[in-house]
Chain A
């Protein structure tokens, strides 16, 4: 069974307006004691990043300042909000989820619950 699956939900915001949403690229790493989510969210500032965990679902939502009207010579990309949601099918410890945003990379560390960590069994011999 997959520990982490993606949830296809539309973002629910109070005032949607004409905001553009992007799905950021995310790597997911499973270590011995945690699940680590690494999302590329260039342009997001730490006070605009929103990470929530509820009912087994981890939701990443970053608001980004929209660009002022510009006289573009070359317009390759737009700035928009980032939104992505994942369902975690493992026992985790929600009280100790931590998140850090640095250089446009959001790292969310979701520690596994005690009973989910691999437990080494000592094998005794006669």
Chain B
């Protein structure tokens, strides 16, 4: 069986350059084929609620926007300001600028009951599940 292999990818240099430019804000390695999304978001659940957390260090509250659309999608966007300090930068690793991300949730939530907190550089959301999504217990009767 003959295998066909590409010996050189003519776009390799371009991909590498673009991946570097779109690199991960938080310094974590991600798959090189994907441009990393910022912020990274964890989503988990219990019976009543969905929860989300995102690492967003160094933000001012009025520069973070959180939206819930269609009851099952959250959008986190904002802008991180660069440090206003005078001097010579010996090392510059942290990112700044505008960012935005839309994430689809696994269930519908009650948009008007969503709570959001920003503490210690972490944005935390509590999203109560919509009633029709919560498991309903059926009583089993017997004769």
Chain A residues packing against B (C-beta within 8 Å): 2-4, 22-32, 35-36, 38, 40-45, 70-77, 103-105
Contact = CB atoms under 8 A, between A and B. Distances in A.
A24 B83 CA distance: 17
A82 B57 CA distance: 14
B106 to A, nearest CB: 5
B44 to A, nearest CB: 4
Given A27-B83, A41-B57, A74 B42 contact: yes
Q: Give the bracket for the number of chain B residues in contact with chain A.
A: 35 or more
Contacts of B114: none
A39 B89 CA distance: 14
A70 B50 CA distance: 11
B58 A104 contact: yes
Nearest to B82: A27
Interface of B: 25-28, 40-46, 50-51, 55-59, 83, 85-95, 103, 105-106, 118, 120-122
A30 B120 contact: no
A42 B122 contact: yes
A103 B90 contact: no
Contacts of A36: 85, 87
B42 A42 contact: no
Given A42-B120, A43-B122, A103-B120, A74 B93 contact: no
Nearest to A76: B40
Contacts of B57: 40-42, 103-105
A24 B132 CA distance: 42
Contacts of A72: 42-44
Contact of B90 (A3, A42, A74, A77): A3
B49 to A, nearest CB: 11
Nearest to B41: A76
A105 B90 contact: no
B87 A26 contact: no
A31 B44 contact: no
A25 B103 contact: no
A75 B44 CA distance: 8
A43 B90 contact: no
Nearest to B57: A104
List of 7 A-B pairs having minimum Cβ-Cβ separation, nearest first: A104-B121, A104-B57, A42-B121, A31-B87, A42-B55, A70-B44, A28-B91
